[in-house]
Chain A
Amino acid sequence: MTETATSDALVKLTKKDFESDQEVRWCAGCGDYAILAAVQKTLASLGAKREEHIFISGIGCSSRFPYYMNTYGFHTIHGRAPAIATGLRVARPDLTVWLITGDGDALSIGGNHFIHLLRRNVNVNVLLFNNRIYGLTKGQYSPTSEVGKITKSTPYGSIDEPVDPVSLALAAKATFVARTSAVDVKHLSEVLTAAHEHRGTAMVEIFQNCPVFNDNAFDSITDRSARSSQQMLLRDGEPLIFGEQKEKGIIFEGFTPRVIDHGGNGLLEKVVRFDKQDKHLAMLLAQLPYPEFPVPMGVLYEENRPVYEEALHAQIASATAKKGKGDLKALLLGNDSWTTS
């Protein structure tokens, strides 16, 4: 027995060990494949145990994800995964919970739960697959679709303003907010690892292409050739620079951000240094309009704040320490009982 236990502990699982026996049924070329592979690989690299990781999803293409993971998984109902994940964490704070959701699931039908999950800071990792379209219902515009989007339900173009998940998360007091893309697997894996390490809700927006209903939605940002000029990779403590030669930077004139060319003229010192614990900076960066400014990618914000379910269990522990473990007999009797004979 001892031997088995020892060898068990030594066996490090591989990516393959996290793949379930179910056939993956996303469309060919779907961005979800890359995310699935990155998650499986990340878990293997973290030395994770299969039984301790729970994948909870709502409804949508991305929400089929749990079926493809050889871990515990719960495919729930539209928009409600945050509430189910909260209940699970309250019952089982020992488990690691991943929440798989999409732009419609998290921001439309589940918008309320998304906000409350973030403000409570429940310890789950939220992977928000943003493809700016409804895929599973076959191509209606989503809450992240740009104004004027022509879809089956908006033949004259959509007229409602899209929501930005990163800005929304910051406003909802999320303690970890990141953005990455499915086509940059290295960056994706880095962000997944950082999300996993964070205590509290980690909200990761993942740009993900839907080749069938919204192909090339992020090409201008995520294409290999465009990345350096269209994205600004955030590194804690480093200046906010981008461009093919990293020649551009962001400065603030008062509260107004401006792009400058710092190359060779000694202006690098003026470029803002990124601090992931600076909420004001994160909110400003989240609001940078594209394409006038590049899209900030990476961990925009991280804060250490008490975790909801840990606080709940701390209350249980302190009440138990103060009053002693509950005695059912005394509870049933109450303070005002009487006896008849």
Chain B
Amino acid sequence: MKTKTLSRVAIRFAGDSGDGMQLTGARFTQETARLGNDLATKPDFPAEIRAPAGTIGGVSAFQIHFGDQEIFTAGDEVDVLVAMNPAALKANLKDLKQNGLLICNRDAFHEKNLAKVQYTTNPLDDESLKTKYRLVDVDISTQTARALEGLSLSTSGKEKCKNFFALGLACHVFTRNVDDTISWIERKFAGKEELIKANVEALRAGIAFAEASEILAEQFEVQSADLPSGTYRNLTGNQGIALGLIAASELSGRPLMYGSYPITPASDILHELSKYKNFGVRTFQAEDEIAACCSAIGAAYGGALGVTGSSGPGIALKQEAIGLAVSTELPLVIVDVQRAGPSTGMPTKTEQSDLLQVLFGRNGECPVAVLAVSQPDDAFETTLEACRIALEHMTPVFLLSDGHIGTGSQPWAVPNPESLAKISPPLVSETQAENFKPYARNEQFVRGWALPGTKGLEHRIGGIEKQDITGNISYDPENHERMVKLRAQKIAKIAETFPATRIVGDQEGDVLLLGWGSTRGAIEGAVKELRAEGHRVGYVHLRYLNPLPNDLPEILSRFKRVIVPELNSGQLRFVLRATYLKEIEGFSKVQGQPLKIREVKERVISTGAVA
């Protein structure tokens, strides 16, 4: 068997919701990460737990893009498609490259399933499919059942192991080891010997089939990427946020309290944090979104790192309470793992459409800090930064992520905790009781954090307008205006603590691409390709969305044109135009899907933005 070396490969595993495609993808990812490839993943699954079997609506897919070089996105198109049924083929074939490898489970291509997705003939028998793609037509269910003959598992139980057959097949074709997966199966099904045996046998049968198959005449290998030296692990954006919160708790010496109400795609943060009780983490599954936010505010009032997390609809419910935290100037971190809206929208699909909601969606003049995570490997650091700002500047901070970042994964260079900066909240001690004033401010306009239980600091706070310095209730007109300004200035001053904004690519030139959130990979990939083609393009990715970095206007002035690609109808563009009175172009995609490198490139070139 020949082995061919490839620089990068994108594979999509697609099947029915119950076919275990997410698990197959996650295991393949882990084996790939072990080999030192850079990678990016994109799970794409329906909101329904088990949509009707065999339908397009029930298709669940997992895409992984890996390579021997820096990988920016999960891939615009795929080199390999594994389709476990006709629906998966129909829904995903459009993204398979011409001459790409197409692995199908023939057993699922029976009349009933074909009819469900309006195939009048079996596409596997269609010559055009075979000419356009390299079709690997395998009776995966039958092969799996044969491999598991002799095991006491039921027929349906054996059928469930077919995803491991597919995984084995893919691992062999791409020269992945399966040792980790075998030990993972042993851990996962500990005590259930029959299941361990069945899954391992199915995995081995897949490998054996690939070895013997004539169609799979080649094996492919992808050299490890030249990642900076260090220790890596693969993690999702949601995991990165959870770890960042725990680290911020340790670095600030404030216990973490996470109040949340289950919602897609943010629930995994709650699941993750609830495991770490031995870090003193207090998780609270509240009765609703409002209570989740209020419990975090109550905890913050008591001296904890109070955090609440949700997605768009839940954020809308929390907004009144966030206003209370603005008025009482308490630290609070609000995680928004955005999804397609409005209303329920498309819960499992990604979007960046909550920016204006988090900036402006509260009553009154109600400024908060807003930060955005750009990709899974950035989630930890941005979370730490959000917590630092909340605790040191006594303010609510929105931490924006989205479904694509939250569920997607990447290798993350694990930092040494000793290298992380301490977080120092402005705690007021008993010794400062004399002349203590709840709303007296430091040079950053930040008030002190006087914790209940501290003798001599007894005071009252609330959502009613308060007198400057004393915090007593005040309806005085001039005082109100002063307080509105002080609250705004306090947020504006946070920008003084930001590092210089980094421009990727050309430092000045024809076009500046300006991005935020999960569009980073696609934009960065596009900039790299555009520059390789000779265009003068720069790229800035904003972590800080409010306040905006102080050096941004100067950077904008260095380029002839500024284009803001966003997964919304132009929300950051709206803010930038209003803030800087400058012509800024937008590039919108609102399909519930991540941006592609090709789309960004086309936008830049087709509008004549570059010569």
Most buried by B among A67, A69, A72, A95: A72
Is B229 a contact partner of A340 (Cβ separation < 8 A)? yes
Query: A72 is contacted by which of B235, B277, B281, B459 (Cβ under 8 Å)?
Result: B459
A90-B295, A116-B291 known; A334-B458 Cβ under 8 A: no
A95-B302, A329-B416 known; A87-B458 Cβ under 8 A: no
Shortest B415–chain A CB gap in Å is 7
- Bound-complex Cα distance A339 to B414 (A): 10
Residues of B within 8 A of A340 (CB): 36, 224, 227-230, 232
Query: A75 is contacted by which of B277, B281, B303, B462 (Cβ under 8 Å)?
Result: B462
A87-B294, A91-B298, A112-B287 known; A323-B278 Cβ under 8 A: yes
B contacts with A: majority SS: mixed
A77-B321, A86-B295, A332-B414 known; A338-B284 Cβ under 8 A: no
Is B291 a contact partner of A336 (Cβ separation < 8 A)? no
Stretch at the interface among A26-34, A46-54, A261-269, A292-300: A46-54
Which residues of chain A in 274-328 are interfacial with respect to chain B, using CB atoms and an 8 Å cutoff? 312, 315-316, 319-320, 322-326, 328
Stretch at the interface among B209-217, B243-251, B577-585: B243-251
- Bound-complex Cα distance A329 to B251 (A): 12
A51-B455, A80-B321 known; A75-B299 Cβ under 8 A: no
Is A95 a contact partner of B233 (Cβ separation < 8 A)? no
A336-B33, A340-B227 known; A326-B247 Cβ under 8 A: no
Proximity bits, B311-350, A CB within 8 Å = 1, else 0: 0000000001101100010000000000000000000000
Is B277 a contact partner of A113 (Cβ separation < 8 A)? no
Is A72 a contact partner of B472 (Cβ separation < 8 A)? no
- Bound-complex Cα distance A70 to B459 (A): 7
Proximity bits, A64-94, B CB within 8 Å = 1, else 0: 0011011111111100101111111111101
Is B278 a contact partner of A337 (Cβ separation < 8 A)? no
For residue A331, CB closer than 8 A to chain B, the reply is: yes
- Bound-complex Cα distance A113 to B261 (A): 13
B293 to chain A: closest residue by CB: A83
Shortest A299–chain B CB gap in Å is 26
Is A338 a contact partner of B460 (Cβ separation < 8 A)? no
Is B231 a contact partner of A74 (Cβ separation < 8 A)? no
Interface residue tally on A, bucketed by range: 35 or more
Which residues of chain B in 176-195 are interfacial with respect to chain A, using CB atoms and an 8 Å cutoff? 180
Is A326 a contact partner of B278 (Cβ separation < 8 A)? yes
Residues of A within 8 A of B270 (CB): none
Query: A51 is contacted by which of B276, B457, B464 (Cβ under 8 Å)?
Result: B457
For residue B522, CB closer than 8 A to chain A, the reply is: no
Residues of A within 8 A of B453 (CB): 51-52, 72, 92, 94-95
Residues of B within 8 A of A73 (CB): 459-462
Residues of B within 8 A of A115 (CB): 287
Residues of A within 8 A of B284 (CB): 86-87, 90, 312
For residue B259, CB closer than 8 A to chain A, the reply is: yes
Is A92 a contact partner of B464 (Cβ separation < 8 A)? no
- Bound-complex Cα distance A76 to B302 (A): 14
Residues of B within 8 A of A82 (CB): 291
- Bound-complex Cα distance A76 to B277 (A): 29
Is A83 a contact partner of B452 (Cβ separation < 8 A)? no
Most buried by B among A77, A87, A315: A87
Query: A87 is contacted by which of B281, B288, B306, B464 (Cβ under 8 Å)?
Result: B306
For residue B463, CB closer than 8 A to chain A, the reply is: yes
Shortest B166–chain A CB gap in Å is 21
Is B277 a contact partner of A316 (Cβ separation < 8 A)? yes
Is A80 a contact partner of B231 (Cβ separation < 8 A)? no
Shortest A252–chain B CB gap in Å is 36
Query: A74 is contacted by which of B228, B415, B461 (Cβ under 8 Å)?
Result: B461
Is A92 a contact partner of B295 (Cβ separation < 8 A)? no
Most buried by B among A20, A76, A329, A339: A76
Query: A80 is contacted by which of B294, B300, B457 (Cβ under 8 Å)?
Result: B294
- Bound-complex Cα distance A89 to B459 (A): 18
For residue A1, CB closer than 8 A to chain B, the reply is: no
A86 to chain B: closest residue by CB: B295
For residue A7, CB closer than 8 A to chain B, the reply is: no
Q: List 12 A-B contacts (CB under 8 A).
A: A83-B287, A84-B298, A86-B291, A87-B297, A87-B301, A91-B257, A95-B452, A320-B277, A325-B278, A326-B280, A337-B414, A339-B230
Q: A87-B257, A112-B291, A336-B30 are in contact. List 6 more A-B contacts (CB 8 A).
A: A83-B295, A87-B297, A87-B302, A92-B452, A332-B417, A336-B233
The 10 A-B pairs with the shortest beta carbon distances in the complex, nearest first, are A87-B298, A75-B462, A87-B295, A326-B279, A83-B294, A83-B291, A319-B277, A84-B298, A91-B302, A73-B460
